[in-house]
Amino acid sequence: MQSQNSRKQNELGMAAAILCATLWGVLPIYWKSLQPIDSFLIILYRIVLTSLVVFIAGLLVYKWEGVLAPAKKKGALTTLIVAGIIISINWGLFIWMVNAGYIIQTSIGYYIEPLMICVFGILFFKEKPEKYKLAAILLALLGVCVMLLSYGEIPVLAMVLAISFATYTATKKKLQAPAIISLFYETVFIMPIAIGVILYMELSGKGAFAVAEPKQIVLLSFAGLFTAIPLSLFGMAANRISMVALGITEYISPSISLILGIFLYKEPFDIYQFIGFMIIWVGLAIFTVGGIRARRAEGEIADEQPVEAASDEIQ
């Protein structure tokens, strides 16, 4: 029974990770649609609106006791504040890069990020990747190296994206808090500063209402929802699957963004970047097939040992 429950939790985690990565992949379209609103102002609205959305969701799902629970845990608030600062840096840089025409470079950053997540999982959580996962990681590394060679220089902004999100992921994994609640605490302590800056910019005629069309203001109001949903899914995944598996599934997001950058926004893209893209997807195929076979093998073992498991429970 425990093994079956574990498999269900793993499958839920994988589904959440894939859906999260897909949503993140298409979100550049949303952030692009908010131009000419300043990227810095967008991130401030995003922090405030996200905090409100997850607070309401937290009350509905976990009640006041659940919302206040992290405040009673020793060291939890400090960890959540640190996580909030890290993810705010990541959010802000990502939105600026998207609106500045660097969507393909963001995809490079998020191709590097799962590698960093996998490395963090092995170094800090003592995870031991199976052979098929290791092969997928090595192929992904090769693909990223081809892309970096094509880029011609060290993509500093892409590296900051990768390292900041991998650090955030490791922090979430260590905390093991409900996704909605942790996201509330990650944003609520930055919220007063964000509100102050928003009020100053709006009252001085430099805010969103001064430059945006009414439909863009409406779109901006969804920033919290479009942030909370994928991040909550990510939190669900981080608490249910290994860092290595989580890292590999995150290649879906930059792949979608890469396609958007090439075909929708016509950013430069050469043959070497294409080769790197294909190598990474070969790695993903190996990971997928290996994961399916491993789950089938686990199912067969569980089916073959029901009496033994029952005996262990009685003892």
Count up the domains in the chain and report the number.
1
Instruction: Measure the CA dihedral 26/27/30/35, to 10°.
Output: -120
User: Which of 32-41, 54-63, 240-249 has the weakest average pLDDT?
Assistant: 240-249
**Residue 314, domain member (yes or no):** no
pLDDT at 301 over 60: no
**Residue 313, domain member (yes or no):** no
**Residue 150, domain member (yes or no):** yes
Contact status, residue 39 vs residue 95, Cβ threshold 8 Å: yes
| Residues 42-94 pLDDT 10s | 999 999 999 999 999 999 989 998 888 887 888 788 888 899 999 999 999 99
- Residue 176, sorted as left (phi over 0), alpha (psi -120 to 50) or beta, turns out to be left
Output 247 or 161, whichever has higher pLDDT. Answer: 161
| Residues 6-32 pLDDT 10s | 888 888 988 999 999 999 999 999 999
| Residues 213-232 pLDDT 10s | 999 999 999 999 999 899 78
**Residue 6, domain member (yes or no):** yes
| Residues 175-198 pLDDT 10s | 767 778 888 999 999 999 999 999
Output 310 or 160, whichever has higher pLDDT. Answer: 160
pLDDT at 305 over 60: no
pLDDT given at position 213: 94
Question: 262 is in which domain, residue-wise?
Answer: 2-308
**Residue 315, domain member (yes or no):** no
What is the rounded average pLDDT of the residues 119-147? Answer: 81
pLDDT given at position 115: 75
pLDDT given at position 214: 94
Output 253 or 304, whichever has higher pLDDT. Answer: 253
pLDDT at 234 over 90: no
pLDDT given at position 250: 77
User: Residue 209 — pLDDT band, cuts 50, 70, 90?
Assistant: very high
pLDDT given at position 304: 46
| Residues 247-279 pLDDT 10s | 778 788 888 998 999 999 998 888 888 888 888
Helices (H), 126-222: 131-151, 156-175, 179-188, 191-203, 208-211, 214-220
pLDDT given at position 314: 27
**Residue 255, domain member (yes or no):** yes
pLDDT given at position 174: 67
**Residue 133, domain member (yes or no):** yes
- Give CA–CA dist 78/313, Å, rounded: 40
User: What is the chain's mean pLDDT, rounded?
Assistant: 84
- Give CA–CA dist 131/84, Å, rounded: 35
pLDDT given at position 248: 76
- Beta strands, E only, the chain: none
If residue 238 lies in a helix (H) or strand (E), which one and from where to where?
Answer: helix 223-238
